[in-house]
Amino acid sequence: FVIVSAESERQVASIVDEVEERVRLAGAKVLRREGNREGRWVLLDFGDIVVHVFHEDERNFYDLERLWRESPTIDLGVAGTQQTAAH
């Protein structure tokens, strides 16, 4: 899965919209979308890939990286970010 964080609810919504659009353009679709109400944590389930888009406060609180710390990570090569994704 992929974990992404943003500084505001608006940024969370924008990231979610962009991820969905890019995946749609690639010929796939979201199977399930959860947590949209307050824009603090949105889960996008694409089957083999699950994307968690967090407001920074929720990401720190839930600390999913801690739960998955023994999983291998992949460097996504995104400049200026923490460059790991658990799978």
pLDDT, tens digit (0-9, with 9 covering 90-100), for 19-57: 999 999 999 999 999 987 778 999 999 999 999 999 999
Strand, helix or coil for residue 55: strand
Q: What is the C-alpha separation between 26 and 46, in angstroms, rounded?
A: 12
pLDDT, tens digit (0-9, with 9 covering 90-100), for 61-83: 999 888 888 888 777 777 655 54
Phi/psi for 52 (5° steps) reads -105, 120
Among 28, 36, 30, CA closest to 12? 36
Q: Return the pLDDT at 1.
A: 85
Percent of the chain with pLDDT over 70: 89
